[in-house]
Structure 1
């Protein structure tokens, strides 16, 4: 009994399933029949026309610009360092980061006690050297006088010897007297040699005194320079940066105290690729003084300055490429060394070119031109430069033609467009609202059924369209729009 009951239940469920499937098939078949039975007017195939912005290519002369990023630098920077070690005795008022100092202003004073003592000792040594020089001069005078006296005595001894020899020849004198006179002359000549030696020593003493005086003068100059070095002054008018000195602190020799920057003599350094750098060379391979424009965006406010290319780095840095170029700036107010700025370099002018938006040219340099019947033609033009959102192309082959400003995947050669020209409204190829058409009853019924079946259309718009379709003459634009939605 249980088996029979289960079998009957299974047969009932199977029958119910087949019945539901048959009902669904019947409903689908009826819907398809009703759809096929609806008399819809045939929709003629219509060409799609796209609207595109166009512009006329006008050849001209343009100065291309190369945009790079650079860093502001100071052309005159001085590191303030302590010439010698010592204790900081005084710091001038206003010596701090960002402060402006004038040329010759005393910034820091070191303790001058040791250098003052050294200067005083050097002055004393100079006075001693001067005294030694005067004493040497007096000794030289005495040595010369002694030599003159010795020479005079030698002359007298020589005359006495001559007289004794003459007396001996006449038989009056004696040989002893002659010998005595000869010995006296020999002693006088020896005295002359001694006086000459003393004169040479006196002259050498004068020379030594002069050398000692010069050394004393040098020592005094060094001492005075050391004393002057205790006052650190500003070599030019500028701004201080990185001040590390404190009053009462000890500083070592050559220790960095601060940095002095001239804010009025600035330059910008930027790196260009080799190809970009080659455009800034003349026929002789020399760098041209191309004008540059430097800008810095500060919270929406742009600071700008003008300048000119001045020089290029002598070598390519390790691990770097391209060329490092320097340009001097004029009127660079608001800039500070270390600012990261945008640099626009004006290249030499190029003739017979046109400036087009980058969206008008594809990766191969192809553009779309407007031909007869507003149909597009594809053409490749040489792209000379790409700068920002624009490109510079050779306009000799497309001069006077209209080019599509914004390309899209829907546009291509042979496509008909509705050109939008600058300063003019678009021309609509579709009929205007004032143009009306007379509908056949079948065509009118199909449009009314489509509008009534559209559940997404607002009731007000649906009522307005149904009112227009109920008239004898219906606006052609409304009919075209509805038929397009029906699958035209």
Structure 2
């Protein structure tokens, strides 16, 4: 019985059917794009915030009661240079000017008296035919003191007039009033803030550039012009490099480049905008420009060699420009075929069927 069961199981065992054929396996189709070796001009991008050149908290130089607040001092107002913002009560400062003028008149009178005494003493000695024994005999020390009293009185009068003029608070530069602190009837002390004023004509930017991108710039960069592009990719103006390099930012360890935006009608930026600053760098030879989609998540690109085999490469990315990546050519002066749609199933050395596509 056991022998019969064993024979039955052997007869029922599955067998693999192997069929020989001379047909070659179907190769995977891969879209490739010819990459010629190019000479390109590097473009370095950096983000920066647009800031006004002048932004100040206007404080009162003198103390007193605010007797007038102009419309130009209200928040949101746009004021030109020299526009009156506040008026401080000026009675006490007019009194100080009058007292200083009186002191100056008295000092000048004392100077005339000292001059007269010196002249009389000198003529007396000349008439007697003798020489004055010392300066005291000619009243010269008194004359010198009188001269200094006049100088002191003139300086005090100038200071009093300056304080009187400072009772009128004016805008030191044109701009927007962003915040107001002083109110009508308020008594303020010297040095108290009245308004915040932000420049609206001259802007500055500070861009940070990595060490790698710093080497791509055309040095020296002083005076170079950079393009300003908004977050949507639209050009909004230009900026001129005032200075850059020389030190690294202590937090980011990147080079800082300081730029200024000229006051032109072609610009369309506002203070507080975040823009992309595009620097034009030096010319690079032996490079490939490939679409950003050709770069895999692992940072590799795939080429198809002359034998239609896949070859993987970890490229040296020089810079990015829009949706293109510029890399250093792995072989000097030799074009390559790029697999523009890399797949996860790609294997190095795998033979494929390349299909050329237009750029």
TM-score range, shorter chain: 0.7 to 0.9
Match for residue 42 of structure 2 among 64, 71, 79: 64
2:62 equivalent in structure 1: 84
Match for residue 283 of structure 2 among 349, 367, 372: 349
Q: Secondary structure at the match of 2:257?
A: strand
TM-superposition CA deviations, 1:399-446 (whole Å, max 9, x none): 4443211211233433323515128xxxxxxxxxxxxxxxxxxxxxxx
1:407 equivalent in structure 2: 342
* Inter-partner Cα distance in structure 1 for 2:30 and 2:288: 20
Q: Secondary structure at the match of 2:212?
A: helix
Match for residue 265 of structure 1 among 191, 202, 205: 202
Aligned-pair distance for 1:114? 1.2
Give runs of aligned pairs for residues 1-150 of structure 1, distance below 5 A: 47-148=25-126
TM-superposition CA deviations, 1:448-479 (whole Å, max 9, x none): xxxxxxxxxxxxxxxxxxxxxxxxxxxxxxxx
* Inter-partner Cα distance in structure 1 for 2:155 and 2:319: 67
* Inter-partner Cα distance in structure 1 for 2:160 and 2:241: 47
* Inter-partner Cα distance in structure 1 for 2:136 and 2:218: 75
Give runs of aligned pairs for residues 416-435 of structure 1, distance below 5 A: 416-417=352-353, 419-422=355-358
More helix by share: 1
Aligned-pair distance for 1:73? 1.8
Aligned-pair distance for 1:343? 2.5
Give runs of aligned pairs for residues 7-406 of structure 1, distance below 5 A: 47-148=25-126, 151=128, 200=137, 202-280=139-217, 282=219, 286-287=220-221, 289-297=223-231, 302=234, 304-312=236-244, 315-330=247-262, 331=264, 333-361=267-295, 363=298, 366-369=301-304, 371=306, 375-378=308-311, 380=313, 383-387=316-320, 389-395=323-329, 396-397=331-332, 399-406=334-341
1:47 to 1:249, Cα distance in 2 relative to 1, 3 A:
farther
Q: Provide the alpha-carbon RMSD of the alignment.
A: 3.4
* Inter-partner Cα distance in structure 2 for 1:269 and 1:231: 35
Number of residues paired by the alignment? Answer: 337
Structure 2: which 5+ runs fail to align?
1-11
Aligned-pair distance for 1:117? 0.6
TM-superposition CA deviations, 1:84-142 (whole Å, max 9, x none): 22222212223233322222222222111111110000001111112222222333333
Aligned-pair distance for 1:336? 2.6
Verify the 8 A CA contact 2:217 2:279 in the aligned structure 1.
no
Aligned-pair distance for 1:230? 1.0
Verify the 8 A CA contact 2:177 2:197 in the aligned structure 1.
yes
Verify the 8 A CA contact 2:111 2:147 in the aligned structure 1.
yes
Verify the 8 A CA contact 1:105 1:233 in the aligned structure 2.
yes
Report the TM-score, using the length of structure 2 for normalisation. Answer: 0.80
More strand by share: 2
1:364 to 1:244, Cα distance in 2 relative to 1, 3 A:
closer
Q: Secondary structure at the match of 2:260?
A: strand
Query: Which of structures 1 and 2 has the bigger CA Rg?
Result: 1
Verify the 8 A CA contact 1:376 1:414 in the aligned structure 2.
yes
1:120 to 1:244, Cα distance in 2 relative to 1, 3 A:
same
TM-superposition CA deviations, 1:133-181 (whole Å, max 9, x none): 22223333333344345x26xxxxxxxxxxxxxxxxxxxxxxxxxxxxx
1:397 to 1:317, Cα distance in 2 relative to 1, 3 A:
closer
